[in-house]
């Protein structure tokens, strides 16, 4: 259960992700200390409303880290190389978690509040919306293949004609729709005045979250 009902402030989520990945990569060779820091970050994120994203990232991390751990252990014959590589992947996967818990709309509002260039704001909005949209389109195309009895995607001919071509066409149509949608909503890239309907606020929970990360990093270095 989350300790705070308030979701992380979007910019805090992104900046904390950057901090986790940089600190984790720098400290990766401090095997036990780095692993404890990453485990603490995992629990800390769970407490601050990122539990679902943490659990979604856990299985891919275990699989990827396990594969590279086995490769490096087999190549070097020591646990240290594989462990440090697992720490690096742990930092990468944990860095993504806060961003996964932030909606594109909230991120756009936050960037607009700090007067980020509109091209950057639009790029962030599209980037954060792309992966969920792509997953949805893939599911629709595969469902259409099943309905028509097109066969398995393992067949290269079927993969190209029945899966890749429809998927690309749908993505092209979506890109056109997105461009029109952005334009009709007045999302101009030039220097124009704009208003924010609902502003995002930096809360006490964000400060506690940042202080907890900083304290964990200091303890990792000291101990």
pLDDT, residue 214, reads: 93
pLDDT band, very low/low/confident/very high, at 130 (cuts 50, 70, 90) = confident
pLDDT value at 1 more than 60: no
On average, the pLDDT of the chain sits at 82
- CA 94, distance to chain mean position in Å, is 9
| Contact between 50 and 66 (Cβ < 8 Å) | no
What pTM was computed for the model? 0.75
pLDDT, residue 172, reads: 75
- The two three-digit tokens of residue 133, written as one number: 């949209």
pLDDT, residue 189, reads: 64
Average pLDDT over residues 74-92: 87
| Contact between 72 and 85 (Cβ < 8 Å) | yes
CA 103-38-71 angle, to 5 degrees, is 105
For the purposes of burial, counting CB atoms within 10 Å of the CB of 102, is it exposed (0-12), middle (13-18) or buried (19 or more)?
A: buried
The domain limits of the chain are 10-102+202-222, 106-184
Q: Render pLDDT for 138-178 as a digit per residue (tens, 0 to 9).
A: 888 888 777 777 666 666 777 777 778 787 887 777 776 77
Q: In angstroms, what CA-CA distances link 156 with 137, 141, 144, 152?
A: 20, 16, 17, 9
Average pLDDT over residues 58-71: 88
H helices of the chain, where?
A: 10-26, 31-47, 51-76, 79-100, 104-113, 118-148, 156-158, 165-184, 204-222
- CA 11, distance to chain mean position in Å, is 13
pLDDT, residue 185, reads: 61
């Amino acid at each position: 259960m989350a300790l705070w009902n308030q979701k992380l402030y979007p910019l805090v989520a992104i900046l904390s992700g950057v901090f986790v990945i940089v600190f984790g990569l720098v400290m990766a060779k401090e095997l036990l200390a780095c692993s404890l820091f990453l485990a603490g970050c995992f629990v800390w994120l769970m407490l601050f409303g990122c539990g679902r994203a943490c659990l979604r990232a856990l299985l891919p991390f275990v699989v990827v880290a396990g594969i590279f751990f086995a490769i490096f252990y087999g190549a070097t014959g020591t646990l240290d190389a594989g462990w440090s590589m697992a720490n690096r992947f742990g930092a990468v996967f944990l860095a993504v978690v806060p961003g996964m818990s932030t909606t594109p709309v909230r991120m756009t509002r936050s960037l607009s509040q700090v007067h980020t260039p509109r091209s950057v704001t639009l790029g962030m909005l599209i980037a954060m919306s792309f992966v969920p949209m792509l997953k949805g389109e893939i599911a629709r195309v595969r469902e259409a293949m099943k309905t028509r009895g097109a066969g398995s995607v393992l067949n290269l001919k079927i993969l190209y004609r029945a899966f890749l071509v429809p998927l690309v066409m749908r993505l092209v149509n979506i890109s056109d729709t997105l461009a029109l949608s952005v334009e009709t909503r007045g999302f101009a890239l030039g220097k124009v005045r704009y208003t924010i309907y609902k502003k995002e606020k930096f809360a006490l929970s964000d400060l506690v979250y940042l202080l907890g990360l900083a304290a964990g990093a200091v303890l990792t270095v000291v101990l």
